[in-house]
Structure 1
């Protein structure tokens, strides 16, 4: 009555969870999603998404594809994708990312380095239009400076 499937089902990657009320110190490296709801100190590296839950306090440098921050992080966050800071999220440190979303109430106390995605490449036609834009910008800047000098003088 039922046909046996000849397709082999692959098990999804298990997520790594550090639950609320748990403390951990060390280095975590994973090719799966990581969620931290407890206290963590050390380095975190993931090729997938790292979620820092609302109750989490993390003293760490985090490198991941994407990071969703709802708790507190003291350290740097580097993503190849998106850093999302929710209304309860707090980052006290630097970040380097290609996309940044900070919801109202979220805190980022540090520096931001926005990186281009690997897909974006500048062509020679873009360079030529940039040259025209640059010369137009320089002329506008000169005009603005001259106007300021005549007002001051």
Structure 2
């Protein structure tokens, strides 16, 4: 009665948008592209491209073909082709990519590996460490968990309290 039809997705097309004002928690696996303008908490496995917009915040391990970061990412990124950190972008985590571009003003804190095999190994080690299984071989730094900043008061004099965020 109903015919099953397999649809092919174009990895060059963005078919999923997490819009500004939206918060998503969970794992995303996509055959096409993904754009994050809101908040994302959870891993991303994408055959296409992932873009984190200027207002986007992703607390995620990201595996994709190309990754563009104009917002903030806390987690490891494995780009099978190219990773671009825009002037407004921040990456706090390890990366692996064949090609890396960081615009003036962009922030990267972590270790980088520029190797085709490392991109796949990083993603595999992230998945294994998330599942609690033994991690696949790769750099120990790439397997380290990303910590959230710790707040420490700088001064308690007067009415104002300044807070320093440390990693």
After TM superposition, the score normalised by the length of structure 1 is 0.67
The aligned runs of 1:98-109 (5 Å cut-off) are: 98-109=98-109
The answer to whether the Cα contact below 8 Å between 2:14 and 2:49 also exists between their aligned partners in 1 is no
| Equivalence map 1:48-87=2 (5 Å) | 48-87=48-87
Higher fraction of helix: 1
Distance, in Å, in 2 between the alignment partners of 1:101 and 1:11 is 27
Query: Which residue of 2 is the match for residue 95 of structure 1?
Result: 95
**3-state SS of the aligned residue for 2:27?**
strand
1:64-118 Cα shifts (integer Å, max 9, x gaps): 000000000000000110000000000000001100000000000000011048x
In structure 2, C-alpha distance between the alignment counterparts of 1:20 and 1:109, rounded to whole Å? 25
The residue aligned with 2:33 is 33
SS in 1 for 2:43: strand
RMSD: 1.7
Output the CA distance in 1 between the equivalents of 2:116 and 2:35: 27
* Residues 75, 91 of structure 2: 8 Å contact kept: yes
Structure 1 residue 14: deviation in Å?
Answer: 5.7
* 1:11–1:50 Cα change, 3 Å: closer
Find the counterpart in structure 1 of residue 112 from structure 2. Answer: 112
The number of residue pairs the alignment matches comes to: 108
Q: Is the 8 A contact 2:37 2:53 kept in 1?
A: yes
Distance of aligned partners of 1:88 and 1:30 in 2 relative to their CA distance in 1, 3 Å threshold: same
Distance 2:61 2:83 in 1: 14
List, as ranges, runs of 4+ consecutive aligned residues in structure 1 with deviation greater than 6 Å: none
- Structure 2 unaligned blocks of 5 or more: 1-7, 118-167
Cα displacement (A) at 1:15: 1.1
Partners of 2:9 and 2:81 in 1: how far apart?
A: 25
